């Protein structure tokens, strides 16, 4: 099953290279992706998918296309176009991946400059990385966001590459701040949390894409599962792994029978309620990361392994393997349900994490984080 699914990923992605050319897929419906220049937060997932396909097939088509797109990332960083906490999503899966796959020194240097841009968002007054806006932003000056946890590996890696522990210190402190304030007592989570920008005093948890401030947006929960697991990979701080496991168990406990998460765990359940396959795919990658750090004989490993197999099977079943006209790989992604912005369609990050999970299930290294 997994080999057939991976072949579908590679074949569909090869066709999309010819269709997309110098544009980037972002979100889409009705068999097609919406294409953008290198301006959105998701652009790195396309290059990451290209590198995964190159790793799987050895076909130079994928590497050449990823390399062809890298100058647009360099131009974007130089211009400061939409550079915020998502800089890790952009440059881990483009510049860092190219360095890892090709030993390209220019790509390494670009990834390190991107790490500087992320470190520049550190706010010592509050001890966190600011998610959006500039430091003077009246609304967002004190905001952290769960998604940022998947960007921290850029800082951990930069510390390893340069020997400058400032990068890893920022990442670890931000992860701990997120652990303390984004995770609730029942292991559910806030999407974002606000602090007083001047003093760092905590104000309260909020949401940007969830149902309401007190709900649990499933994709936010999945960012936490994978993000804390990755912080454990780099720091070996036990609370990060424990938090990842507890969040994973909460996510698994909220899954419907078919294994594809509802877009928000507090949303009404039923056939008309949007699902979010990307949340399931991200969480699945998180489970696979956690399992690498557990004793295979442990109860935690057994429970997570069973859930991972169930979730992988669910994603393969809702893939577009038997829909030859579809540009996306994975159906039923929910981008922003509250804004009615692709509540049921394709998401390039869902496609990426689906491919990463398949690579890991196939015992091939599939992580650039």
147 is catalytic: yes
- In 3D space, the residue among 1, 22, 45 whose CA is nearest the CA of residue 328 turns out to be 45
Backbone angles phi, psi at 258, to 5 degrees: -80, -5
| Model pLDDT, residue 362 | 83
Q: Can you tell me the distance from the alpha carbon of 117 to that of 336, in angstroms, rounded to the nearest whole number?
A: 27
**Which among 84, 147, 264, 351 is annotated as catalytic?**
147
Q: What is the pLDDT of residues 234-247, one digit of tens each?
A: 999 999 999 999 99
Q: Can you tell me the distance from the alpha carbon of 125 to that of 201, in angstroms, rounded to the nearest whole number?
A: 9
CA distances from 262 to 199, 269, 324, 330 (A): 37, 7, 26, 15
Written as six digits, the tokens of 112 are 């390190």
State if pTM tops 0.85. Answer: yes
User: In three state form, how does the secondary structure of the chain look?
Assistant: CHHHHHHHHHHHHHHHHHHHCCCEEEEEECCEEEEECCCCCCHHHHHHHHHHHHHHHCCHHHHHHHHHHHHHHHHHHHHCCCCCCCHHHHHHHHHHHHHHHHCCHHHHHHHHHHHHHHHCCEECCCCEECCCCCCCCCCCCCEEEHHHHHCCHHHHHHHHHHCCHHHHHHHHHHHHHHHHHCECCCCCECCEEEECCCCCCEEEEECCCCCCCCCCEHHHHHHHHHHHHHHHHHHCCHHHHHHHHHHHHHHHHCCCCCCCCECECCCCCCCCCCECHHHHHHHHHHHHHHHCCCCCCCHHHHHHHHHHHHHHHHHHHCECCCCCCCCCCECCECCECCCCECCCEEEHHHHHHHHHHHHHHCCCCCCCC
| Model pLDDT, residue 367 | 87
Task: Set out the domains of the chain in order of their start, with CATH numbers.
Answer: 2-361 (1.50.10.10)
- In 3D space, the residue among 223, 220, 224, 207 whose CA is nearest the CA of residue 338 turns out to be 207
Written as six digits, the tokens of 20 are 């997309």
Contacts of 253 (CB under 8 A, 6+ apart): none
**Which among 22, 59, 84, 86 is annotated as catalytic?**
86
Q: What is the pLDDT of residues 82-122, one digit of tens each?
A: 999 999 999 999 999 999 999 999 999 999 999 999 999 99
Q: Can you tell me the distance from the alpha carbon of 326 to that of 214, in angstroms, rounded to the nearest whole number?
A: 36
Consecutive 10-residue averages of pLDDT for the chain (369 residues): 92 98 96 97 98 97 98 98 97 98 98 98 97 93 98 98 98 98 98 96 96 98 98 98 98 97 94 95 98 97 98 98 96 97 98 97 84
187 is catalytic: no
Length of the chain: 369
Q: Can you tell me the distance from the alpha carbon of 147 to that of 222, in angstroms, rounded to the nearest whole number?
A: 9
């Amino acid at each position: 099953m997994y080999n057939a699914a991976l072949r579908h990923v590679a074949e569909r992605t090869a066709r999309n290279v010819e269709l997309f050319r110098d544009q980037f897929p972002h979100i889409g419906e009705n068999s097609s992706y919406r294409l953008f220049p290198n301006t959105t937060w998701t652009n790195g997932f396309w290059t990451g998918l290209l590198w995964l396909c190159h790793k799987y097939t050895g076909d130079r088509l994928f590497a050449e296309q990823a390399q062809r797109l890298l100058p647009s990332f360099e131009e974007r960083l130089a211009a400061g176009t939409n550079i915020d906490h998502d800089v890790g999503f952009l440059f881990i899966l483009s510049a860092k991946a190219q360095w890892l796959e090709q030993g390209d020194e220019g790509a390494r240097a670009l990834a390190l400059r991107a790490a500087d841009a992320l470190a520049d968002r550190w706010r010592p007054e509050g001890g966190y990385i600011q998610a959006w806006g500039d430091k003077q932003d009246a609304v967002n000056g004190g905001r952290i966001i769960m998604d940022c946890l998947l960007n921290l590996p850029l800082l951990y890696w930069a510390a390893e590459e340069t020997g400058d522990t400032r990068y890893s210190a920022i990442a670890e402190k931000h992860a701990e701040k997120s652990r303390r304030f984004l995770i609730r007592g029942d292991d559910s989570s806030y999407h974002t949390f606000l602090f007083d920008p001047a003093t760092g005093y905590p104000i309260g948890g909020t949401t940007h894409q969830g149902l309401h401030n007190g709900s649990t947006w499933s994709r936010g929960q999945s960012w936490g599962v994978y993000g804390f697991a990755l912080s454990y990979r780099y720091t070996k701080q036990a609370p990060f792994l424990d938090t990842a496991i507890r969040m994973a168990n909460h996510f698994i406990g909220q899954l419907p029978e078919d294994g594809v998460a509802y877009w928000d765990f507090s949303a009404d359940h039923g056939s008309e309620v949007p699902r979010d396959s990307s949340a399931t795919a991200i969480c699945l990658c998180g489970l696979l990361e956690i399992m690498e750090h557990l004793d295979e004989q442990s109860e935690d490993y057994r429970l997570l392994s069973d859930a991972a197999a169930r979730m992988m099977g669910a994603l393969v079943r809702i893939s577009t393997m038997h829909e030859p006209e579809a540009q996306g790989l994975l159906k039923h992604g929910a981008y922003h349900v509250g804004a009615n912005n692709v509540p049921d369609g394709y998401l390039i990050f869902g496609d990426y994490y689906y491919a990463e999970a398949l690579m890991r299930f196939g015992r091939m290294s599939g992580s650039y984080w």
